[in-house]
Amino acid sequence: MPDLTRPHGPRIIAVANQKGGVGKTTTTINLGAALAAEGRKVLLVDLDPQGNASTGLGVEQDDRLVTTYDLLAGDVTLSQAIQTTTVDLLSIIPATTDLSSADIELISNEKRSFLLHDALRQIDIDQFAFDFVLIDCPPSLNILTVNAMVAAHSVIVPLQSEFFALEGLSQLMLSLREVREAANPDLRIEGIALTMYDSRNNLSQQVEEDARQNLGDLVFQTVIPRNVRLSEAPSFAMPVLQYDPASKGSLAYRALAREILDRETLRQKG
């Protein structure tokens, strides 16, 4: 439900796909950095107990004293949980393996699907003036991912350009529909992002063709190529935009950020 007293809250986007290794974390980190490079203030919420987004942005284990788990458990306020990163305009709430127990511990809670929704609407988010919140989801359709979908305005679905990529999508769509019916009727699909695309590979082209034919405008125009710089950057604890700004991976995520911003402008006009 829109909060009319605070019409300028951030746009909250969940990056979700129940399949592991499809580019969720890579997309969250680099899209976040790319939106920041466009002058937007971004909060990244690491909602995966593996904490890959936290690691990839250089948040050491020792610096994860306050995490997404503490926020969901209601033990800390939003401003206590938010940390700055080495990337200008990009902040993060990091995650640790604590979060994996949330799945079990939260089940007794009646509002268990709304924990992130409520946390991100705490009044103290206003002082940060975020334009975007990006949520990096775990590779599952568990209660954590449901929390992300309930909290979000829209969902980005990274789709690895390989055989069977489209098959897992129907399960995700089902979850989206359930969340819409039960909790968040306005939840949109922001877009489906084809990742790890190899233009020399017929299979990649076939997946793109299928996706565009079946899903039309839901598929982002921008395609993310397979690019080794994207896979190297996390071990240097930085987004590819910092690690190798001229790389194909960097340029692709910058294009994706602009595509999202352009679509938003269009939506606001129309």
- Determine, following the binding rule CB under 6 A, whether residue 230 of this chain makes contact with ligand ADP: yes
Residue span binding ligand ADP (CB under 6 A) among the ranges 3-11, 38-46, 75-83, 223-231: 223-231
Binding flag, residue 55, ligand ADP (CB under 6 A): no
Per rule CB under 6 A, is residue 196 in the interface with ligand ADP? yes
* Partners of residue 134 on adjacent β-strands: 13, 44
Per CB under 6 A, the list member of 86, 171, 206, 231 interacting with ligand ADP is: 231
Of 26 and 161, nearer to Mg ion (C-beta) is 26
Q: Which does 226 bind (CB under 5 to 8 A by kind): ligand ADP, Mg ion, none?
A: ligand ADP
Q: Which of 195, 222, 247, 250 binds ligand ADP (CB under 6 A)?
A: 195
Count the alpha carbons within 13 Å of 224 in the hemisphere toward its beta carbon: 33
Q: Binding to Mg ion (CB under 5 A): which residues in 32-71?
A: 52
Q: Where are the beta strands (DSSP E) in 178-258?
A: 188-195
Q: Which of 25, 160, 184, 247 binds Mg ion (CB under 5 A)?
A: 25
Q: How far apart are CA 214 and CA 130, in angstroms?
A: 34
Which is closer to ligand ADP, CB of 10 or CB of 23? Answer: 23
Give the nearer residue to Mg ion in terms of CB position, either 52 or 91. Answer: 52
Rounded CA gap, 16 and 23, in Å?
A: 10
Give the contacts of 44 (CB within 8 A, at least 6 positions apart).
28, 29, 32, 53, 57, 85, 90, 91, 92, 93, 133, 134, 135, 136
Give me the half-sphere count of Cα atoms (radius 13 Å) on the Cβ side of residue 12. Answer: 23
| Residue 234 CB, nearest approach to ligand ADP (Å) | 6
Binding mask 58-97 for ligand ADP (x = CB under 6 A): ----------------------------------------
Under the binding rule (CB under 6 A), the answer on residue 102 touching ligand ADP is no
134 SS3 class: strand
Helix axes 169-182, 143-151, angle to 10 degrees: 60
74 binds, among ligand ADP, Mg ion, none (CB under 5 to 8 A by kind): none
Name the segment binding Mg ion (CB under 5 A); options: 9-17, 22-30, 85-93, 178-186.
22-30
Q: Which CB sits closer to ligand ADP, 46 or 131?
A: 46
CB 114 within 8 A of CB 149: no
Beta strands in the chain (DSSP E): 11-15, 42-46, 83-84, 90-93, 132-136, 154-160, 188-195
Q: Around Cβ 118, how many Cβ atoms within 10 Å? A: 14
Q: How far is the CB of 110 from ligand ADP (least distance, A)?
A: 30
Contact set with ligand ADP (CB under 6 A):
20-26, 52, 139, 195-196, 224, 226-227, 230-231, 249
